[in-house]
Copies of this chain bind each other. A is one copy, B any other.
Amino acid sequence: MLNERPDIAVLKLCEKDMEEGGGCVWMVEMAWIGYNCILVTVSACLVIFISPVAAGSGIPQVKCFLNGIRIPGVVRLKALIVKSFGVACTVGGGLSAGKEGPMIHSGAVIAAGISQGRCISLPLDFHIFEEFRSDREKRDFVSAGAAAGVAAAFGAPLGGVLFSIEEGASFLNQTLTWRIFLAATISSFTVNFILSIFYGVSGFLSWNGLANFGVFENSNYNIWEIPFFLLIGVIGGLSGALFNWLNMQLSKFRRKYVTSHTQKLFECVLVAAVSAFTGFMTLFVVNDCQPVGINPNLTDVNKLWCRNGEYSAVANLFFQSPEESVKSLFHSPINSYRASTLFIFAVEYYILTLWTYGLSVPSGVFIPTLLTGAAWGRLVGIGVEHLFPDVTGVDPGKYALAGAAAQLGGVVRMTVSLTAIIVEATKNITFGLPIMLVLMVTKWVADVFNEGLYDAHIELNEVPILGWNPPKLSRNILAERVMRKDVMAMEQRERVKRIVQVLRTTAHHGFPVVDTINPPTANSQFPDYGHLKGLILRSQLITLLSKRAFSYDYYGEHMVEGYSPVRLSDFRDAYPRYDESLDRIYVSEQDEHCWMDLQPYMHPHPHRVPLNASLQSIFSLFRGLGLRYLIAIDDRNCVS
């Protein structure tokens, strides 16, 4: 499809003119740049004006969501639509961006939507899967969706499972593992089946993802090659760490100076123009024509500016889809690319990718990073070949594979899942071992300098994500110091007036329930709370109010008019948008003097820590149990 792009057609028409020294080529270039800019503008507008959360790869957002942080709109239909249309435009517009990250995000959105059996945006409620309407269940589905996304993108179901375990699911258990696995399996199966129809061999299921890196024919390697693989790992680690550092500086710059819609849009268009211009100029300046004979699978695109029987190595890199370019770097015969071409391409693409990631368009970082790495990896391979001219079987494609893995590993710092993804995407298990070694070395080297790209972006956005390990020195910080002092507690039976007032004046999501509340003493601004009896959530209180679950007298013997019994499903139905209902609740003055009995609804034994608990131990409670609330109690079990 890419081969039939109108700009290419014009370019071919022009070829003759150019050979005669005409100026047609500049016209073509303008047309090309214009075409790319239009597509990228569409993509950027979608993101900027409709769903800003759909920018970037989406993996950081999914990671935050799975960590239990509710970023508004991450798993909404709007994000899905913008993401999928947007990414098509981004990739079509020639940006150095991949579609794999967005595909993972899309998988997560679809999973979240299906699990809820309804769509609030449309609005549509099928009244199915109602038991899944809770944060915990939704998270599990999103983990599975992300795995299914990886499975579809790379044809890597095992990679998908490992991705969810390594990067995603904060709260893993065994049952979840095999559910994720099921989702990934079915996703692969579906992709395989559709691809088999697409390629006209309907029903023959081979193991193909959408990004397919081809099969290595020569899959031997020798132990003396291991040091070179390790070297590639070191280079990948350094280059990845540098990438992350530069991208962070760029992102900080953007947050400061590229803030308005127009500025953002302008930057996207600028990048599109520069990307197109770079490719074009490189093709024009670097004259790397190779005989066609040694390289199969060439199309007209590859033959630009070269004589008959030759093709342009540069066009091979710049003007195919990135997946095809990666494939070509992996599998082309030894002399398909000049070293200088590879070097120029790697540097250019590195910079373009750097600039692209963080723009307001949906764009993944997987494929462009793999492509950059494959280019310099192949360069290393050519170097090794020159060092050992007598040894046969030095295939630069192997080194391209190692380089691709190293560059991506250096940027995202995945190890186990990335190995599985690459092994599955190349359908080759023999190179698993060197890839593993490369990725381990890469991670070690890169981790010395900074953290992975996704984590860095999460931190930049100041998302309070809980990592795997507690912060250093947290052993010496006690609960007293980190707890919120402005806790609002409820008594077991509480006046409606106070509940409404507390809900409307605070944004707390949970309220401890205590047996007595005494007014603040002289030396404290906060009330003196009694023994901890339970915990009630903001959402529960809102639901109780809307169901008018309160009574005229203290002991709940005379319920108010309009009272309807509260069932478990009532709490679920309001999920996940409670606060909207709060505005709709009308409480009369008479109601305000009524009593609400919280005892039947509260969580009777919430998790608690003493005031002298260390931050480390609090961290492991939050992380290990997936908690959202933890109540600090003093020596007498009173809320502090």
Known A-B contacts A181-B416, A222-B204; the reply to A173 vs B437 at CB < 8 A is no
CA distance A127 to B440 in the complex (A): 28
- Of the candidates B188, B612, B624, which one forms a contact with A605 in the assembled complex, judged by CB atoms under 8 Å apart? B612
Stretch at the interface among A519-527, A558-566, A613-621: A613-621
Do the beta carbons of B604 and A612 come within 8 Å of each other? yes
Is A584 an interface position by the 8 A CB rule?
Answer: no
Interface string of A269-308 (1 = CB under 8 A from B): 0000000000000000000000000000000000000000
Do the beta carbons of A605 and B617 come within 8 Å of each other? yes
- Of the candidates B158, B609, B610, which one forms a contact with A432 in the assembled complex, judged by CB atoms under 8 Å apart? B158
- Of the candidates B175, B420, B635, which one forms a contact with A531 in the assembled complex, judged by CB atoms under 8 Å apart? B635
Is A356 an interface position by the 8 A CB rule?
Answer: no
Known A-B contacts A205-B223, A531-B636; the reply to A621 vs B613 at CB < 8 A is no
Chain B residue at smallest Cβ distance from A208: B430
Is A443 an interface position by the 8 A CB rule?
Answer: yes
Stretch at the interface among A161-169, A335-343, A493-501: A161-169
Chain B residue at smallest Cβ distance from A533: B635
Known A-B contacts A158-B419, A177-B165, A416-B178; the reply to A220 vs B193 at CB < 8 A is no
Is A323 an interface position by the 8 A CB rule?
Answer: no
Interface string of A436-460 (1 = CB under 8 A from B): 1100100100000000000000000
Do the beta carbons of A220 and B204 come within 8 Å of each other? yes
Known A-B contacts A165-B165, A174-B468, A430-B427; the reply to A185 vs B440 at CB < 8 A is yes
Residues of B within 8 Å of A162, CB to CB, are 158, 161-162
Do the beta carbons of A440 and B182 come within 8 Å of each other? yes
Residues of B within 8 Å of A224, CB to CB, are 203
Do the beta carbons of B635 and A625 come within 8 Å of each other? no
Residues of B within 8 Å of A188, CB to CB, are 433
Interface string of A414-434 (1 = CB under 8 A from B): 011001100110011110110
Is A157 an interface position by the 8 A CB rule?
Answer: yes
Interface string of A131-162 (1 = CB under 8 A from B): 00000000000000000000000000110011
- Of the candidates B193, B205, B532, which one forms a contact with A221 in the assembled complex, judged by CB atoms under 8 Å apart? B205
Is A120 an interface position by the 8 A CB rule?
Answer: no
Interface string of A520-546 (1 = CB under 8 A from B): 000000000001100000000000000
Is A13 an interface position by the 8 A CB rule?
Answer: no
Residues of B within 8 Å of A207, CB to CB, are 429-430, 432-433
Do the beta carbons of A178 and B443 come within 8 Å of each other? yes
Do the beta carbons of A433 and B185 come within 8 Å of each other? yes
A194 → chain B, closest Cβ, in Å?
A: 12
Do the beta carbons of B178 and A174 come within 8 Å of each other? no
Is A637 an interface position by the 8 A CB rule?
Answer: yes
- Of the candidates B173, B429, B608, B625, which one forms a contact with A608 in the assembled complex, judged by CB atoms under 8 Å apart? B608
Interface string of A172-196 (1 = CB under 8 A from B): 1111011001100100110011001
Query: Which residue among A174, A224, A415, A625 has the maximum number of chain B CB atoms within 10 Å of its CB?
Result: A174
Is A569 an interface position by the 8 A CB rule?
Answer: no
Residues of B within 8 Å of A436, CB to CB, are 157, 181, 185
A426 → chain B, closest Cβ, in Å?
A: 9
- List which A589-640 residues lie within 8 A (CB) of chain B: 604-605, 607-610, 612-614, 617, 620-621, 624-626, 633-637
Is A206 an interface position by the 8 A CB rule?
Answer: yes
Residues of B within 8 Å of A172, CB to CB, are 172
Residues of B within 8 Å of A166, CB to CB, are 174, 177-178
- Of the candidates B196, B206, B624, B634, which one forms a contact with A625 in the assembled complex, judged by CB atoms under 8 Å apart? B624
CA distance A7 to B443 in the complex (A): 54
Residues of B within 8 Å of A440, CB to CB, are 178, 181-182, 185
CA distance A189 to B431 in the complex (A): 12
Chain B residue at smallest Cβ distance from A633: B637
CA distance A173 to B637 in the complex (A): 32
Residues of B within 8 Å of A620, CB to CB, are 625
CA distance A461 to B631 in the complex (A): 40
Chain B residue at smallest Cβ distance from A637: B637
Do the beta carbons of B427 and A181 come within 8 Å of each other? no
A105 → chain B, closest Cβ, in Å?
A: 21
Residues of B within 8 Å of A468, CB to CB, are 173-175
A177 → chain B, closest Cβ, in Å?
A: 6
Residues of B within 8 Å of A206, CB to CB, are 220, 430
Chain B residue at smallest Cβ distance from A434: B205
Given A204-B222, A604-B612, A610-B637: 18 more A-B contacts, CB < 8 Å: A157-B432, A158-B432, A161-B162, A161-B416, A173-B469, A185-B437, A188-B433, A193-B223, A196-B223, A203-B223, A203-B224, A204-B223, A205-B222, A420-B420, A428-B429, A429-B429, A479-B605, A625-B625
24 interchain pairs (CB within 8 A)?
A: A158-B162, A158-B416, A158-B419, A158-B420, A161-B416, A166-B174, A166-B177, A173-B469, A174-B468, A181-B419, A185-B437, A185-B440, A189-B433, A189-B437, A193-B223, A204-B220, A204-B221, A205-B223, A206-B220, A532-B610, A605-B613, A605-B614, A608-B610, A624-B625
Nearest 8 interchain pairs by C-beta: A637-B637, A624-B624, A203-B223, A605-B613, A174-B468, A185-B436, A624-B625, A181-B416
**A interface residues (Cβ-Cβ under 8 A, vs B):** 157-158, 161-162, 165-166, 172-175, 177-178, 181-182, 185, 188-189, 192-193, 196, 203-207, 220-224, 415-416, 419-420, 423-424, 427-430, 432-433, 436-437, 440, 443, 468-469, 479, 531-532, 604-605, 607-610, 612-614, 617, 620-621, 624-626, 633-637
